[in-house]
Amino acid sequence: MIFSAAQIASLINGSVEGDPNANVHSFNKIEVAGEGQLAFLANPKYEDYLYTTRASIVIINQSQQLKEKTNSTLIRVPDAYSAFAALLAKYQEIMEQQLTGLQENAYVAATATIGNDVFIGSYAYVSEHAEIGNRAKLYPHSFVGEKVSIGEGAIIHPSVTIYHGCKIGRNVIIHAGAVIGSDGFGFAPQQDGTYSKIPQIGNVIIEDNVEIGANSTIDRATIGSTIIRKGAKIDNLVHLAHNVEIGQHTAIAAQSGVSGSTKIGNHVMIGGQAGIVGHITIADGARINAQSGVSKSIKQPKAAVTGSPAYDYTSALRSQAISRKLPDLEKRIQELEFLVKQLSAEKV
């Protein structure tokens, strides 16, 4: 698709400097963009590329002062990075709106309810009594179990598996290979050393505007629901165990794991490879550093922790600073001990 500078400016509330009829058909980074492509400048360290780029259109901040003439048509906005992200989202939305209908070899059960303008890709499988909302997209090889509901505008990428009874909200994005609603890790130890499986009869509820990364797994509850509140962002390769609750607009980075029945508050940020034990609570706004091991509840809102076991971030930095000085401290102690011995010998 081709867009003019004037059309783009109207989408992002920008002002055009240069040719309003300049056209672009694709996006690229400012340092490599060519004719017919759109780029943006938000980071000052890339400013030199503004004067050498071959991009037809460049989105820049309103505050950007030009040091020399540019060859590109410019669109000024308050925040170039946010405007570019919004433009990409709009472009993706336009492209996905073109995908509708049932592709060859897709299966939809007779009792399933399918909304308007839905896309179901080849070899996707929609089970009995499932409900698919308007404008939802199910890409090839995705599986939707019995009585699953998927909200309006949701995007289910290839090879996603959604087990029976789970509920997916509006505008949710689930990336390739994710598994929603597999059994929680529930086993009762027996006297003979074996384990008896505890049936997992709950479900998973994912509220509106949540994004789930590729190959992540969210277990169904033993009883009740595992819940991901609206606006939460879950990275790739994240595991959320049974009966976990994730608060609104919380972000969890890749390879993190949250054990069963833990409740995480709103606007929490969890770094990559963090591990959180079960049956604890994490207060709103908490920040958990990458590779931290959280073994007890964080009760103070907006607290920052690091380490394993995790503890106060500022205290941890002080401890790290002291640990780097330990060799020098040891040397000084040895020198003091030597002096003490000399003084003691002199007194004798």
Residue from 242, 249, 267, 279 carrying the catalytic annotation: 242
DSSP type of residue 164: T
* Neighbouring C-beta atoms of residue 84, cutoff 10 Å: 21
Backbone angles phi, psi at 332, to 5 degrees: -65, -40
DSSP type of residue 50: G
- In sequence order, the β-bridge partners of residue 205 are 167, 227
- In sequence order, the β-bridge partners of residue 132 are 114, 150
Q: Hey, what amino acid is at 122?
A: S
324: left (phi over 0), alpha (psi -120 to 50) or beta: alpha
Q: Which whole-number Å values give the CA distances from 135 to 44, 118, 339, in the listed order? A: 39, 5, 81
CB 56 within 8 A of CB 36: yes
Residues contacting 320, CB < 8 A, separation 6+: none
Structure tokens, 95: 């492209």
Handedness of CA 224, 229, 230, 236 (dihedral sign): negative
Please give the Cα distance from 265 to 77 (Å, whole number).
34
Give which of 157, 117, 149, 111 is closest to 134, Cα–Cα. Answer: 117
Please give the Cα distance from 258 to 235 (Å, whole number).
13
Handedness of CA 21, 26, 30, 34 (dihedral sign): negative
Question: How many angstroms separate the first and last alpha carbons of the chain?
Answer: 95
141 in active site? no
Among all residues, which ones are annotated catalytic? 242
